[in-house]
C-alpha cells in the first residue's frame, strides 16, 4: 500500500513545482517592469539565427546634442528592454536578414 501512494506524492510535488515556477516567472516579470531588477543584455547565436536583448532609452534623442532635442530633454527618460530575433532570409529573396521583435517591455516608472 505504501508503493501505491508514491505516484500520488510525485504528482503533488510536480504540481507544486509548476505553481512555484509560474509564480516566480510572474514575480520576475513584475520586478523587471517596476525596475527592481534589470534584464541582461544578451546575444546568443544558434546556428544561423541570433537572439539579442538590449536595454535602450526613450527618447533616444537625449543621447544626441541637437537643438531640436532641447524640448525632449525635459521629458523623463524611459528604459525599454527589447528582444530581437535575427534570422537569414529566404534563399531566393533579396532580404539577407529577417528581423523580428519578439518582446518589448517598459522598465521602471
Number of domains, the chain? 2
Nearest-angstrom CA–CA distance, 68 and 65: 9
22, 47: one domain? no
Residue-range definition of the domain harbouring residue 10: 1-37
52, 28: one domain? no
78, 109: one domain? yes
Would you say the pTM of this structure is higher than 0.85?
Answer: no
Nearest-angstrom CA–CA distance, 105 and 17: 27
7, 48: one domain? no
pLDDT of the chain along its 109 residues, tens only? Answer: 455 566 778 888 999 999 999 999 888 888 888 888 888 899 999 888 999 999 887 655 544 445 555 555 566 677 888 899 998 877 766 668 888 999 888 887 6
75, 24: one domain? no
Amino acid at each position: 500500500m505504501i508503493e501505491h501512494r508514491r505516484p500520488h506524492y510525485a504528482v503533488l510535488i510536480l504540481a507544486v513545482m509548476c505553481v512555484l515556477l509560474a509564480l516566480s516567472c510572474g514575480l520576475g516579470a513584475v520586478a523587471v517592469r517596476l525596475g527592481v531588477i534589470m534584464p541582461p543584455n544578451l546575444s546568443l547565436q544558434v546556428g544561423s539565427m541570433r537572439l539579442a536583448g538590449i536595454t535602450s532609452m526613450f527618447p533616444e534623442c537625449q543621447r544626441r546634442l541637437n537643438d531640436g532635442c532641447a524640448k525632449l530633454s525635459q521629458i523623463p527618460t524611459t528604459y525599454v528592454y527589447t528582444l530581437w530575433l535575427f534570422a537569414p532570409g529566404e534563399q531566393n529573396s533579396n532580404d539577407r536578414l529577417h528581423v523580428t521583435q519578439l518582446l518589448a517591455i517598459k522598465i521602471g516608472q
